[in-house]
Structures are given as structure tokens and as C-alpha cells.
Amino acid sequence: MGDHMDALNLDRRDCFKLLAGLGLGLAGSAVPAVAAPLTLDQIKKNGSVRIGCEAAYRPFTFRDQGKIVGYDVDLAEIIYKPLGVKCDFIDTAWSGIVPALYAGNFDVIHCAMTYTKERVGRVAFSIPYAEATQEMLIRAADAGKVKAVEDMSGKILGVKLGSAGDTMKTALDQRVAAKAGKGFSEVKTYDDHPAAYLALAQGSVDGVINTLATLTQVLKDAPGRYAIIRNVGPMTWSGIATRKDEKDLIGFVDQRLAQLKAGGELYALQEKWFGTRMQLAEAIPSFS
């Protein structure tokens, strides 16, 4: 009988892994805890920090000859160096990355997670470490007709599932309708941004929302194919994310980011990966 009861009494980590495996997202601001919070001593004992990312988000986290590289990878190596641990990056579908965090699949998310009201309610964020202002990618051939997001009236918008662009699509549709009398004809969602860019190139959508830093990289990778429409979203930023109760870990990350900003290492990485130094806010934006 005892063995049967033990089998029934799954710990919380197992339960959340099951939910994540079934694709059941933890919607809303109320989120469960995973056993006990991690301590820095536990991370040192484990010998590694497990980092969740989407390895299709160039230049933050992406694959180069099979290896995950990028701004977030270089930054993580520097952040956790004082702990004497290695950084294990775990490629995860973006739409399920927060449920996977709470399932215990990894300890922290390093992948340019933009601050939104919903996310601030679900995870513990670090101070800003990258700009994340949302802009729109269009085909270069359409640049004469589409000069602002309001010119997307009657056209098809593409967004990545679970992204900041996905969050702001309704507000953008209303903004376009208020100016032009009609909003988007359709909004299509994609599992990752590369799929959305391909749809744009093939004419399946007319614009794709993403951060300015990432879209600038797209222009470099495909010169002459695309153009960027500015003034789409307000200025905002990205943070590193942990579970809500991971006060030790997020406190350490904040401390290290402040040190790296003061010492210039953070800006040196930005120059390496983006070719420019980003303007960073000092604190997480307020959504009250």
C-alpha cells in the first residue's frame, strides 16, 4: 500500500513537468512554486546553472554549427563566472518557456524576455540588460507604400506566439483602425521569428513585429530584402527571468549586471553583437 501511495504522491516538480509536457501553460499571474527556492550554494554544488532559451533568436541565442551562441550566451558566462559553474543552455519553445521554468526544466531564462505586465506577474525579472523596443519588418519592395504601422490597414501581420508582438497585436490593430478606418485583415502566429520572416519573404504576411535590435540583424543577414518601420511600440527593455521565489538567484544576477554596467563589460558585449551601445533603463518598467 505504501508503495502505491508513494507513486500517487508525485512531488510538485513532477506534476509541473507533466503539465508542461502536455502543453498546459500556467496562464495568468498566479504561478506555483517548484519545491524550495535555489540557493547560490546549491548552484555551486550542482556545478552548473541551467539556462532556458530559444535558440532561434539571433543575435541573442542561436545555433552556429550546432552550438548555441549569442549575446545572452556570452553574458551568462560572465555573470556566473564568480560561482565557478558552467552554463548549460537548454533550447525551449518560446510559447512554453515560462511553464518549463516552473516545471524545473532549468533555473533561469536568458533570451531577451521583454517586460510585459503579464510576465512581471509571472516571473522575477532582473534589471534591464538589453533594449527591446518593438518595431516592424516589411518587404523592401513595399517601403514606398508602408511607411508607418498605420499603413498596414487591410494587410496581414505576423507575430511569434507568446512574444511581445503577440501581446500588443490587439492594441496595434485598434491603432491602425483608428487612423485608417480598418485594422489588419488578419494576424498570423508563428512558432518562431525565422518562420515569420520566411512568410514575409513569401508574401504570406505583410509585416512582422520584433525588437529593433533583432530586426537590425535581419537586415544585415539579408541586405536589400527587408526594411524596418519605426515608432511601432514604446521604448522598452528585456530582463533575465527566474521563478518568483528565487530571491538569491535574481539578487545575484542584478548585482552582477550592475557591476558589468559600471565596469563597461556589458556595453562591450553589446558592441560585439549589435555594433552599438544600448540605452538601458535603471529599473524594471512600472505597469501599474
pLDDT of residue 35: 63
pLDDT of residue 34: 57
Whole-prediction pTM value? 0.83
pLDDT of residue 231: 95
Q: What is the signed CA dihedral for 41, 75, 282, 216, rounded to 10 degrees?
A: -150
DSSP assignment string, 50-102? EEEE-TEETTTEEEETTEEESHHHHHHHHHTGGGT-EEEEEE--GGGHHHHHH
pLDDT of residue 183: 98
What stretches in the chain show pLDDT beneath 70?
Answer: 1-35
CA distances from residue 230 to 74, 93, 199, 213, 221 in whole angstroms, order as listed: 28, 28, 20, 12, 19
Question: Domains in the chain and their CATH numbers?
Answer: 2-132+237-274 (3.40.190.10), 134-229 (3.40.190.10)
Q: What is the pLDDT of residues 77-98, one digit of tens each?
A: 999 999 999 999 999 999 999 9
Q: What is the pLDDT of residues 136-160, one digit of tens each?
A: 999 999 999 999 999 999 999 999 9
Secondary structure E strands in 167-206: 186-190
Sign for the pseudo-dihedral over CA of 89, 95, 96, 97:
positive
Q: What is the end-to-end Cα distance of the chain in Å, rounded?
A: 51
Q: Which residues are CB-neighbours of 226 under 8 A, at least 6 positions away?
A: 137, 138, 139, 140, 197, 200, 215, 218, 219
pLDDT of residue 16: 41
pLDDT of residue 17: 42
Q: How many other CB atoms are there within 10 angstroms of residue 174's CB atom?
A: 11
User: What cell numbers appear for 241 in the block?
Assistant: 527571468
Q: Comparing C-alpha atoms, which of 56, 101, 98, 93 is closest to residue 210?
A: 56
pLDDT of residue 23: 40
pLDDT of residue 216: 94
